[in-house]
Structure 1
């Protein structure tokens, strides 16, 4: 059951990371905000992996071709997913934008069963479905508020996040290291590759963005720290349990986002529906029981 506390940690930190990214997106380009997520996360991930080896030494990994493919695919998908979410922040308010991107749970369930040999019980499917409805209700959105560009961006972001999670889990399983070392290796390699790709892109196409990040060190560091700690939670939880179950429980992040949206950004949202609160609790209970 260790996947449960790791998932709750990830959801809490991701809510704060998204909040800091929203603030940064007002002054920095989409590529810059995406880079901020990984910029300082690499040394933090390296320190985390080093600490694990000091605590419990295990064998060093042997990197295979399938493992390398999963790492590259996950890194690229997460960059795309983050960029789409930042774009959502510019179109709608914080809670609605991030809430739409949380469609990843049900997409991960469908893709996992269809293409990654995962299996879910009837109770787990009920939990995933309840979670999807709950997220929509708790985000404060309504069909009248949604335009086709917003809906499409949200679903594409959710799809990219779902694929990221599935490929991260496959990389951890293929590596074959004991818990939690395998997830830590995947985390470090994915973040390093993402940092390299985005830094090269920004140097070639929008060099002033690096100066913009340098001029906002506290906010950039906050995004990176929250991202790294959240990723430790996600990657570790997904190495232990099905992506669909982890992401469904992780939808409690929407509750954190609503609080941040109201208390930090002073955004006016519709009152969270009591049915939405009940559904997200039932979804969490269902996936934990499953």
Structure 2
């Protein structure tokens, strides 16, 4: 990797993690009125207009028109869109089993699975240093999430949590494959992929809700004003993720993305006044060490 590409993808990823933290908070508020399915749909439906604006800004800034996606692009983007929806559904289902922290621990095994899928599907290399960084950072998240004497709730939530992580991993690799298949600069390729992916996801979920639960779909449309923040922050986070995917492997991006856990920890400590336990502090240290190792390995 050339030196000039290291800090841009790292900056995109950290900014994406911050934006995702805000989006999660906004979606959490909407869950009270729209339910989990409706609040999830907001991310896609109200993100589409902002994705179009982002792409228009990229086109104006670079002077290059969006590329025509080749046939190879469509399997990638479709796989990414579908697996991201499936991952979200499995994660929410697992959390419904009263095992929130355990589910978080298993879904955060995503970087390890991303590295394996990226190697198998795209041939993205995994050096010993990068592999060690992924392992250390992931161990930090699991250490923070799992607590002594905590019940996992049976095999179902564990399977759903690991399955969600696998689907998130596949979606990350698939979106990177879609971006790389486009004959365009990384800015335009990332923006084009985001527009198509969000439009596809919004369409699929809208059709599903229209058939299965039209009441929720109507409620989502009526709640457009409070949903704009979640849609904007979701589209912004995704745009930044995709820019990262365009510049480096999905494993690098999703490992550095674990800084989102640090942001959440900071919010809990300084906004809500919750104390940090010794176990959480150890987890934070491991995450920081893993992130430093990752950046040092580039």
Tell me if TM exceeds 0.5. Answer: yes
The count of aligned residue pairs is 290
Equivalent runs, 1:29-44 vs 2, <5 Å: 29-44=35-50
Structure 2: segments with no counterpart, 5+ residues: 1-5
1:208-237 CA-to-partner distances (Å, cap 9, x unmatched) read 002322454444222212211110111100
Structure 2 counterparts to residues 96-111 of structure 1, below 5 A: 97-111=103-117
Alignment-derived partner of residue 217 in structure 2: 210
Mapped partners of 1:201, 1:68: distance in 2: 21
The residue correspondences of 1:19-168 to structure 2 (distance < 5 A) are: 19-92=25-98, 97-139=103-145, 141-142=147-148, 144-147=150-153, 148-168=155-175
Q: Any idea what the Cα deviations from partners look like across 1:140-196, whole Å, max 9, x if unmatched?
A: 545733223332222111111111100010111110211211011000100000000
Q: Report the alpha carbon displacement of residue 269 of structure 1 after superposing the two structures with TM.
A: 8.2
- In structure 2, distance between residues paired with 1:143 and 1:170: 41
CA drift at 1:264? 6.8
Following the alignment from structure 1 to structure 2, what is the Cα–Cα distance between the partners of residues 55 and 159? 36
Task: Give deviations 1:72-92, integer Å, cap 9, x for gaps.
Answer: 111111111122223344344
| d(CA) in 1 for partners of 2:269, 2:100 | 10
Contact 1:30 1:83 (C-alpha < 8 Å) held by counterparts: no
Query: Does residue 18 in structure 1 map to residue 24 in structure 2?
Result: yes
Match of 2:252 among 229, 237, 245: 245
- CA deviation after TM superposition for structure 1 residue 27, in Å: 3.6
Question: Contact 1:6 / 1:233 at 8 angstroms: preserved in 2?
Answer: yes
- Contact 1:37/1:223, CA 8 A, preserved across alignment: yes
> TM-score, normalising length from structure 2?
0.88
TM-score by length of 1: 0.91
Instruction: Return the alpha-carbon distance in structure 2 between the equivalents of residues 287 and 115 of structure 1.
Output: 22
Which consecutive unaligned segments of at least 5 residues does structure 1 have? none
1:282 maps to what in 2?
A: 289
The answer to whether the Cα contact below 8 Å between 1:183 and 1:235 also exists between their aligned partners in 2 is yes
Give the Cα–Cα distance (whole angstroms) in 2 for the partners of residues 263 and 83 of structure 1. 31
Aligned to 2:3: none
CA change 1:164–1:71 in 2 (3 A) is: same
- What is the CA RMSD across the aligned residues, in angstroms? 2.4
Q: Does the 8 Å contact 1:105/1:162 carry over to 2? A: yes
